[in-house]
Amino acid sequence: MAENKTLAHLSEQIQQLDIEDSFRLLCDLHPGKIVFSTSLGQEDQVITQLIAKNNLPVQIFTLDTGRLFYETYDLLAKTVVKYNLDIKTYYPNTESVETFVLEKGINSFYESVENRKSCCYIRKVEPLKRALAGNEIWVTGLRAEQSANRQKMRKLEWDPANQIIKFNPLLDWTMDQVLDYIHKHHIPYNPLHDKGFISIGCAPCTRAIEPHEDPRAGRWWWEASHKECGLHEQAPAIEK
């Protein structure tokens, strides 16, 4: 109960601050325990630039599933050089991948939701848990506009699945705000975005979307789901 009230109070403080001051407050309160997970999406590139510009003590990491687009790897290399950052890469457990592919097939995620979620767990969720272990704040590039599920999230919330506080600094930003910031600050981004790929994940699981489609429609398009892989569980309400 006391922890919930503390988080609720901190959440109220964050609401009154701009992004840079919010980061500084959290860095002061949780020194050496803040990590940012980047998938190299446009929102994540904005946050990376903010961290680099302000020399914030935030460790940046990314997940290499082994099935990413070439353009994503190229952008990672460019980002590291441009901002002179150490971005740690986490990989899936080799034995788990080998067993899954042997038993289910290299593209078995197309065959059932169960197979797809198993693949996502091995390639993304389990490595994420390793990356978050021992930390106290997890920074993400989530925005409320991205999906109905994400509209229920808050800038600062408790993530029960990973037992960590999640900080979503761009939650209330619009896509136009993200793009304006990218162009204003000459931030490198994935060229696939200009070809209709709004949300970019693994190559076999991502397609371009039409102008009228939901931003997450290009992810796992062959199945009727809420378009999440398991990285971001809905957090319970904060008690006040």
User: What residue ranges define each of the domains in the chain, with the CATH number in brackets?
Assistant: 2-205 (3.40.50.620)
Catalytic, 27? Answer no
Of the listed 119, 202, 205, 229, which one is catalytic?
229
Answer whether 0.75 is exceeded by the pTM: yes
- From first to last of its 240 residues, what are the pLDDT tens digits of the chain? 446 668 999 999 999 999 999 999 999 999 999 999 999 999 999 999 999 999 999 999 999 999 999 999 999 999 999 999 999 999 999 999 999 999 999 999 999 999 999 999 999 999 999 999 999 999 999 998 876 666 678 899 999 999 999 999 999 999 999 999 999 999 999 999 999 998 899 999 999 998 888 877 898 989 876 555 555 455 444 443
**3-class secondary structure for the chain?**
CHHHHHHHHHHHHHHCCCHHHHHHHHHHHCCCCEEEECCCCHHHHHHHHHHHHCCCCCEEEEECCCCECHHHHHHHHHHHHHHCCCEEEECCCHHHHHHHHHHHCCCHHHCCHHHHHHHHHHHHHHHHHHHHCCCCEEECCCCHHHCCHHHHCCCEEEECCCCEEEECCCCCCCHHHHHHHHHHCCCCCCHHHHHCCCCCCEHHHECCCCCCCCCCCCECCCCCCCCCCCCCCCCCCCCC
